[in-house]
Structure 1
Amino acid sequence: MMNSLVVKDQVERKVTKIGNSLGVTFPKEVLDHLGITHGDEVKFDFKNGSVILRKKKELRLPKGIDEEFLTQMNDMIDEYDETFKSLVDR
């Protein structure tokens, strides 16, 4: 039995143990509202003490750019993030 309570535009769920982690299940109404189905990726945005859940937008890579290249670029940006930010201040 799932613990859920729907009050107007609000849905509440209880945090449950899933293996060594904690998790929350999402009611069908929430998934339908967000257009999320099994296998979709989601994005969490943190703002002012709240978390905003969104369906992750599908990225269409330009011709000639593969996913491995983007992964390497992201790794480089993460590694040199502070350096890049300090260049902005110059």
Structure 2
Amino acid sequence: MGVNAMSKKEIRKVTQMGNSLGVGLPKAITDAFNIKRGDELEFEVKDGQIMITKKVKWEDQVDAEMLEMLAETFEEHHEVLKRLKDR
């Protein structure tokens, strides 16, 4: 099910989780947004509504070519970076 295909509303009860309150996420939402255990969700209040956004990990945005370019840059400037670290 794609993100845009979701239109059904679901209701969840707020429960006590230690000193916090928690709400379980419906499977349809976790599947649509590929939310896994350990992912971070950002909460924002906007115009009287709670907006929830899945934080994208930098590792998920970096491709192999970019990693290779970074490795080459670090290798090329190793001495300069080492001197900066030791300051």
Contact 1:41 1:56 in 2 (8 A): yes
Larger strand percent? 1
Residue in structure 2 matched with residue 59 of structure 1 by the alignment: 58
SS of the residue aligned with 2:32?
Answer: helix
Deviations 1:41-72 (A, max 9, x none): 111122101111111012369x57xxxxxxxx
Normalised by the size of structure 1, how large is the TM-score?
A: 0.52
Residue in structure 1 matched with residue 83 of structure 2 by the alignment: none
* 2: CA distance, partners of 1:20 / 1:40: 21
Larger helix percent? 2
1:46 paired with 2:45, answer yes
Residue in structure 2 matched with residue 12 of structure 1 by the alignment: 11
> Taking CA–CA contacts closer than 8 Å with sequence separation of 6 or more, which of the two structures ends up with the larger relative contact order?
2
Q: Which amino acid aligns with 1:41?
A: E
Residue in structure 2 matched with residue 77 of structure 1 by the alignment: none
Larger radius of gyration: 2
SS of the residue aligned with 2:44?
Answer: strand
Structure 1 moving runs of 4+ over 4 Å: none
User: Structure 1: any 5+ residue segments left out of the alignment?
Assistant: 1-7, 65-90
Q: Which amino acid aligns with 2:25?
A: F
**CA RMSD, 1 decimal:** 2.3
**After the TM superposition, which of the residue ranges 52-61 and 15-24 deviates more from structure 2?**
52-61
Contact 1:35 1:55 in 2 (8 A): no
Q: Which amino acid aligns with 2:19?
A: N
